[in-house]
Structure 1
């Protein structure tokens, strides 16, 4: 027995050691098996046919940017604009850049930008150029970080014969000797002179500029508004004609400040060009394309850091100039979601916005009549106080005039968030929002992308402000248009990369969806580690790309006109049931007011199909589109670039 027990001892010790080893390594082993099973599942044909697939792009390190704005260009390439990318050191060194990515080849290249387009507005023009207007003139300074008292100075010019340049560094001195300097250059126009029977009436011209004390600390504070400031270097009549009227100059928080600068990007030459400056500086503006190809510039923070008080201007691509429309004076929070509608001269504001503005002003959704400047509110929206960082988009083709508002949160750093999906039919006799599906997770910053099969991809976002508490929502859904209010919500494959603030999504010509950007406030659940900007790009392939052969467009006109019937060559004409024009879209800050789908009449024709375009300008605005044919399985062709002049 003793001999047998000695023989068994090594075996027992080995078994004990193996048991301990398995016990220590069991959790990692189980995790490895679970991950292997998950990867096998999501890469299976059956799964992708039902849910689709996400792929993370492997861009080289020197080709990665802090994407803030995304736009699909008529060349099929995607422009990702960073500017300073929310990095003040990049702003200071003027290391401002954009990335041009070709989804067809995977090639990319960095293109410097001529000004800080961080948090500008953007949209495509009818000739294919990308218009970017506004951006960052100065980064914010938070309470406690302000060294030099600062604020607004109203510069007056009483001379009707000549304007006056106010260079950066111009010094204004108060009656008690306190001095303040301008940060940026400006020009004060001549005064207005109107002839009267008694002679003439002169009304002083006025421009507001931002000034900063030359003395640090509390000594530079002036709380008394309305003091008259002399301009150093002016004397005699000039000193009498041109002067400053100061507002309160304090050490309080200073907001971001906008710029008037505007640029276009030529997608063929791949170069930036400056166009006419806007009349007003704008940071966080919306650029809403009009049916005739002009562009409305709305809202934003001005050169002082205040929300513009309803000043609206129009860009005409034929003249490359902005002109203020003094009849349009509605106040909106920054990045308002304002869309054109099927009714001439009537816009629709969904109430969604991103960022700055008081709770009691410009928050209610409604129709904006451009002739009367009146907004008519619409009722029925659930969680009406949770519209900041909400998404808005057309559901189905634009002819249906059905729009949804998805998710959103409370104003500022509010932890309140909703998963509401509400729909409104803009053509109804009494338009009102109706309750649709509810997302499983409440979400702000959701990306909404209209797809050519009349569904909508809803992806990403976070449950809390800028992803606080590691609250990124790593799921996606497809909202399918149907008779039910808000359509039908079905699950899609889960993205691998979380995206919240500064996230974007754009539809690609091949029917996939490119997503980029994300700027979390923190990188940990306890909110102690400063956030890292997400530079990875991820692309979603919807389920329709896994159903077998796709219909193919072998030839189509590059220019199509309203009301025209045109032939489209395809070997798959017998199974084509729908045709869509998908407008080339741009996206930033949950705002994508230039994306929509236009349904075309389609019928079999010689060598393929014939498609008939709508005849109304409001239904089919001037612009750049992708023609897509959809077969009886809901599978779309690749898009063929089309311009509607």
Structure 2
């Protein structure tokens, strides 16, 4: 087949203008065609090379029907594939059916594959380990029950065992407990109650009762079984000493809303084998936890709701990768709201930006600050404007990471408020007394804003909504935001980018791909576009090509090592060495609820060498945590190469 010649730009412009003239003429006689003409004009404009060079370009990704999932979590693996985790996908029916899903997307081939998902990792926490495995921990043990749907009074019962002599006692699901008033409550699950412990204090022996908690539900429906005061309950069927030593206590049993319950399961997802590998259980059940890697290779897990939907009161824990087990970290007791945004600092301390997902106290744990995880000291960072609007806000360690600046963007009022902010503030953590200072406002108030570091040190921001989960804001039935923008640190200003075509709010993600594009997924609106009916989860996927991909030929990179140590120099082959002005190591994203503790872009020294360039990796582990990175070479026009995967040890 003879290759078809491409029309000249002038011919294409003339053809496009002629089409618009015809459409406009038809529109005069047939008014509905005005919309068609407007769409044609828009399509023509956004596909011009001059437009794409300035604003970038969006494209829909075709997703086969069998692989359309509710993207709750997403991570870029060092194989180049995108891991898309739904679990039950915020779908109670899927949870009850134990239908849990994970999908892998290969951007190189645009192929999707299904991965078996053993438990409901919906709303788990995750972060990359130094070996490239993705640690996924926590998730959903039970779904919420709204107050209107609670027919039987329920609550948490603590079963106590005051006998040290007969070992642990097991009570099956449905065990009956009786209140002083004769009301019956049934255990929701099987529960094991440990034996009491004998403790010697000098000449005295003290007995400390064993205890275990379990949900109980009233046998009868309605308010008659509601108990508002602490009480002790007898266990049906026990006699003699057992009846005296074993009993239940509860503070209250009500028909209040029952929150999501956290799970304890933990996995390492192996990118090469493409499967979940079971590890030891977490010490606490956690739903909405944050995981962050430490400089010694361990992982710290903080916050979350326990199995009864209660916010954990500052109990944190550590994961030991070499042993694949979790240990308690009482030395690091600190309270945070759920999904707190944490950033590893160059000196190994952890910065809490103030961003969070909302569950928890409306006052405690919301102050931004520097957390010394060696001494468990916390130093508050002042200056944040709109300090009560940090729920569903975003924060990012600006590039290059050596600058140690963190930016917080948007956010909303506490709870399900429709109020949000366009505020951005920036803190320089290298200052002796760091404090937030005003950044440029976003074009519109925004929650759930996705932020992606690009190889040219800019930050691409997209998606979000002004109202809670895309809901009403200032009279509008839906408040999804389609505008995108690129923050340029050198100018401390936003530049307009092309508008997206898919609204994304709660449960959405955006991730930088090795070819320099950005993939966007998810979105879980509370209502449909009318603002009256329930919304449906957004399963379409879009990919954004930043303006730098339309500035001409990209530099290329060939040979070079796949592993390099900190404070080491390595050579990488490229025919474009003369025009390479910088290089960046960008850690792949692992994001959920706009929380991403992994994302960072590190400047590496780059000098021309025979047949290519030499790069030198910085020395500090807090600046360059061990793990896999995308190495980008950037030329004098700000155009990045396709990344090469490099493991930093």
Give the TM-score of the pair, scaled to structure 1: 0.92
Residue of structure 2 in register with 1:214 after alignment? 219
User: Could you tell which deviates more after superposition, 118-127 or 189-198?
Assistant: 189-198
Q: For the aligned residues, what is the CA RMSD?
A: 1.9
Cα distance in 2 for residues equivalent to 1:632 and 1:23: 47
Cα distance in 2 for residues equivalent to 1:514 and 1:535: 13
Residues 35-65 of structure 1: per-residue CA shift (max 9 Å, x gap): 1111111111111111111111111111100
Residue of structure 1 in register with 2:271 after alignment? 267
Residue of structure 2 in register with 1:175 after alignment? 180
Cα distance in 1 for residues equivalent to 2:312 and 2:548: 44
Residue of structure 1 in register with 2:593 after alignment? 589
Q: Residue 135 of structure 1 contacts residue 284 of structure 1 at CA under 8 Å; is this kept in 2?
A: yes
Select which of 386, 390, 396 maps to 1:387.
390
1:615 and 2:619 correspond:
yes
User: Could you tell which deviates more after superposition, 444-453 or 622-631?
Assistant: 622-631
Residue of structure 1 in register with 2:500 after alignment? 495
Residue of structure 1 in register with 2:425 after alignment? 422
Residue of structure 1 in register with 2:474 after alignment? none
1:123 and 2:131 correspond:
no
Cα distance in 1 for residues equivalent to 2:603 and 2:162: 57
Residue of structure 1 in register with 2:58 after alignment? 54
Cα distance in 1 for residues equivalent to 2:460 and 2:115: 30
Deviation of 1:413 after TM superposition, in Å, equals 1.5
Residue of structure 2 in register with 1:529 after alignment? 533
Cα distance in 2 for residues equivalent to 1:464 and 1:209: 37
User: Could you tell which deviates more after superposition, 559-568 or 157-166?
Assistant: 157-166
Aligned length: 619
Residues 230-249 of structure 1: per-residue CA shift (max 9 Å, x gap): 33455555554443211201
Alignment of 1:477-556 (within 5 A): 477-482=485-490, 487-525=492-530, 527-556=531-560
1:202 and 2:215 correspond:
no
Residue of structure 2 in register with 1:396 after alignment? 399
Q: Residue 210 of structure 1 contacts residue 303 of structure 1 at CA under 8 Å; is this kept in 2?
A: no
Change (3 A) 1:190 1:278: farther
Change (3 A) 1:236 1:582: farther
1:562 and 2:570 correspond:
no
1:474 and 2:505 correspond:
no
What secondary structure does 1:531 align onto? coil
Change (3 A) 1:570 1:29: same
What secondary structure does 1:110 align onto? strand
Q: Residue 408 of structure 1 contacts residue 418 of structure 1 at CA under 8 Å; is this kept in 2?
A: yes
Q: Residue 160 of structure 2 contacts residue 210 of structure 2 at CA under 8 Å; is this kept in 1?
A: yes
Cα distance in 2 for residues equivalent to 1:103 and 1:306: 40
Alignment of 1:147-162 (within 5 A): 147-160=151-164, 162=167
Cα distance in 2 for residues equivalent to 1:583 and 1:186: 43
Deviation of 1:542 after TM superposition, in Å, equals 0.8
Residue of structure 2 in register with 1:42 after alignment? 46
Q: Residue 581 of structure 1 contacts residue 598 of structure 1 at CA under 8 Å; is this kept in 2?
A: yes
Cα distance in 1 for residues equivalent to 2:277 and 2:240: 42
Change (3 A) 1:188 1:557: farther
* 4+ aligned runs moved over 6 Å, structure 1: 21-24
Alignment of 1:14-25 (within 5 A): none
Cα distance in 2 for residues equivalent to 1:413 and 1:542: 34
1:580 and 2:599 correspond:
no
Deviation of 1:279 after TM superposition, in Å, equals 1.2
Residues 113-136 of structure 1: per-residue CA shift (max 9 Å, x gap): 111111111112222222211111
1:355 and 2:358 correspond:
yes
Cα distance in 2 for residues equivalent to 1:263 and 1:319: 13
Alignment of 1:129-148 (within 5 A): 129-148=133-152
Deviation of 1:603 after TM superposition, in Å, equals 0.7
User: Could you tell which deviates more after superposition, 530-539 or 208-217?
Assistant: 208-217
Residue of structure 2 in register with 1:114 after alignment? 118
